[in-house]
Amino acid sequence: MLSLFMRFLHLFLFSVSFIFISFASPVWAYKVVASIPPVASLVRAIAGEYGSVDILVDHSTSPHMYALKPSDLRKIGAADILFWIGPAYEAFLVKALENHAQKSVALMKAPHLRLYPLRFSDEHDHAGCHDCASISSSLPSPSSLSLDGHIWLDPDNGMQMAQEIAARLTILDPDHRQDYERRLQKLKERLEYVKMEIQATLQPYENQGFLVFHDGYQYFEKAFHLKAGQAMTLIPDVAPSAKRLSALKRLIQKRNVQCLFAESQFPSRLVKMLSEETKIKVGMLDPVGTPDLSYEDLLFSLMKSFSACLKEKS
């Protein structure tokens, strides 16, 4: 009899423990796929514990040169919703999302974004662009490349993206609408602080010239009033010609170019060669950050990279 009672007691305690754990532990209500780390960080800031977030392209690879793997296609198929920038930035996703239009959200279509055209087409100094004709013939259709896709590097755009994310998550999960609105407001407050800090830090360097590996920073430059950075190569996976290299050397000598920025996702041979020949300072920029980096910290990391390299030589 005692044995039967003990069995009943163990079963009862197990059931109670199971119920308690089920209520106490977070339940992933839906699966989100984000194309790149900055998009994932904004989704996490809004979704909190109500959604799990998978990233397609991490910080080790550039989206400009990415090709989808079978595991990526499985992630997309299993997702409840997918957030990406859009065809102007992640061309590798266009075909894969043809059959997933109902659950994919191109954040570049969010309302009230500041959008800028690619600068090599109408803003860069064409006198120094000796590669333009040959590069243009190798590019996809102009409609998919008319805009610069690095929209998240302007914090005001980041906020508009977050609003779109909150709206879409509310449609997917209306029971937690108030939570999404509350987190959105907190993110807005944090970004206002971030903007003031970055502006104050970078203000002394507004007129200093610099070179970047590829022209991916105009949203950050314009948001914080930096001088437009000249690009070493017009698109990252096309090597610049000898004429372009000569033009870059002349540009470094003639203009107030203080710093040359490399990027971890791209080969460093060109950067090393230019720095050795011109004795220019070298810095490192990362426009996407690591998967666990918050959106605010990504912006701060760019601020630190710019300010460290643009300081006048002692």
What are the boundaries of each domain within the chain? 30-111+123-195, 204-310
pLDDT higher than 60, residue 21:
no
Sign of CA dihedral 42, 304, 157, 181: positive
pLDDT band at 22 (very low <50, low <70, confident <90, very high): very low
- Residue 262 bridge partners (DSSP): 284
- Name the class of domain 30-111+123-195: alpha beta
Instruction: Find residue 53's DSSP bridge partners.
Output: 32
The Cα 291–Cα 178 span in angstroms is 27
Please state at what angle helix 37-47 crosses helix 295-310, rounded to 10 degrees.
140
Average pLDDT, the chain: 82
Question: What percent of the chain clears pLDDT 70, i.e. is strictly above it?
Answer: 79
Give the neighbor-by-neighbor strand order of the sheet with 209-214. 230-233, 209-214, 257-263, 281-285
Q: List, in sequence order, every residue forming a beta bridge with 281; answer none if it has no partner.
A: 259
- Taking the domain 204-310, which CATH number applies? 3.40.50.1980
Instruction: Write the single-letter amino acid at 31.
Output: K
> Is the distance from CB of 210 to CB of 259 less than 8 angstroms?
yes
What is d(CA 290, CA 307) in angstroms, rounded to the nearest whole number?
A: 20
Which sign, positive or negative, has the C-alpha torsion 190, 195, 196, 202? positive
Q: What values do phi and psi take at 152, rounded to 5?
A: -70, -15
Residue 182 three-state SS:
helix
d(CA 68, CA 153): 24
Reported as a pLDDT band with limits 50, 70 and 90, residue 313 is: low
Please check whether the two domains, 30-111+123-195 and 204-310, share a CATH topology.
Answer: yes
What is the per-residue pLDDT for 240? 64
Each residue's pLDDT tens digit, 32-71: 999 999 999 999 999 999 999 999 998 777 787 788 999 9
**With bands split at pLDDT 50, 70 and 90, how would you rate the model's confidence at 253?**
confident
Which residues, including other chains, have CB under 8 Å from residue 121's CB and lie 6 or more apart?
Answer: 146
